[in-house]
Structure 1
Amino acid sequence: MSRVGKLPVSVPQGVDVKIVDDQITVKGANGSLSRVINPLVTVQVDGGKVQVAPVNETAEADAMSGTMRALLANMVNGVSKGFERKLNLVGVGFRAQAQGQKLNLQIGFSHPVVKEMPAGITVTTPTQTEILVKGADRQVVGQVAAEIRAFRPPEPYKGKGIRYADERVVLKETKKK
């Protein structure tokens, strides 16, 4: 059995985990998340712990038990604490402005770029060059941040563009005569 799959997921106070048929639902302060349980694993909730085990001894069931356990841990963490991704704008005149569920970007194009946020995701701009994407679902937060970055990824010569806060852009040397 996988090492990750053996560890139980501890459920903090204020988080409710329910299993109905093949669906697991986790409710907490930041909302509710649900996921279909893979038929290769069994999930048991006892008290403040959730245990995931493979149905049989195949390698696929073993791998899926670790994956399902990690997904459940992310769901529990998301509804209790939440996830966030920080992006920085690098470039002269590059600005971001959050307007409700929309993100308005001026990133060097002749027109502003407007990105509509999906349900459950909030976007804030602490400064004009910082974007903070928050939500309970880790996958959706990462996907929205990747879509925002894709509008203008960092270019390799000056480093201008939208980058993650922890991203290091390696700059190329310019052509010599």
Structure 2
Amino acid sequence: MSRIGRKPISFPADVAVAMNGQQVHVKGPKGELRFDPHPNMSITVNDGDRLVQVNRPDDTRENRALHGLTRTLVQNMVDGVTKPFERRLTIVGVGYNASLAGNKLSLQVGFANTVVLEVPEGVTVDVPAPTSVIVRSADKQAVGQFAANVRSVRPPEPYKGKGIRYENEQVRRKAGKAFGSK
């Protein structure tokens, strides 16, 4: 049996977990999320003990894989509605900066035009400094996807390290051309 999948998920008192048919609804102080699990997975909610249990029908390879995945996705939903997930991005380069205007993130990263990205629904973006961007949401997948979209505008290059990177990302630097005498 999956060691992760068989662990029950406990949720705090300010979080409500409910099943609507096959769909899981999680509502908390920081947001509300919905999830449609695979039809093979059965989810039971025990409001008295404040536990959620994920079960699988048999031990086939697919069901074993889905068991741990489903449990982790529901756990991430519970965690996200209590304390939102966040990704921090750093912009490195002379004249490179970011600004936020309403629901649009503007990036000036060495192109002739400013790159404007629409912030998706349910995601909040903060720009505390011109070279720092913070992406937050209760949905872990939405945070990661939007942060990846921002990073893909100008990924860090290996020679000078200029570009948009995650806060603790290590960029492997390459040596430039070595000029030798013949």
* Same fold flag (TM > 0.5): yes
- Give the deviation of 1:55 after TM superposition: 1.4
The TM-score, its normalising length taken from structure 2, stands at 0.95
Q: Deviations over 1:72-95 (max 9, x none)?
A: 000001111110000000000011
How far apart are 1:57 and its partner, in Å? Answer: 2.2
Equivalent residues, number: 177
Offset of 1:147 from its aligned partner? 0.3
Q: Which residue of 1 aligns with 2:20?
A: 20
**Which residue of structure 2 aligns with residue 79 of structure 1?**
81
Q: State the identity as a percent.
A: 47
Distance 1:108 1:154 in 2: 12
**Runs ≥4 in structure 1, deviation > 4 angstroms?**
none
1:1-177 to structure 2, matched below 5 A, reads: 1-47=1-47, 48-177=50-179
2:132 partner letter = E
Aligned partners of 2:5, 2:77: CA distance in 1, in Å?
15
Quote the offset at 1:96 in angstroms: 0.6
Q: Distance in 1 between matches of 2:38 and 2:154?
A: 37
Aligned partner letter, 1:14: D
Q: Which structure has the greater CA radius of gyration?
A: 2
User: For structure 1, which segment, 88-97 or 99-108, has the greater mean C-alpha deviation from structure 2 after superposition?
Assistant: 99-108
Distance 2:136 2:103 in 1: 12
Per-residue deviation, residues 45-70 of structure 1 (Å, max 9, x unmatched): 11311011111221211211100000
Q: What runs of 5+ residues in structure 1 fail to find an aligned partner?
A: none
Separation in structure 1 between the aligned mates of residue 146 and residue 66 of structure 2, nearest angstrom = 26
Measure, in 2, the Cα distance between the counterparts of 1:62 and 1:51. 15
Aligned partner letter, 1:176: A
Q: Which amino acid aligns with 2:11?
A: V
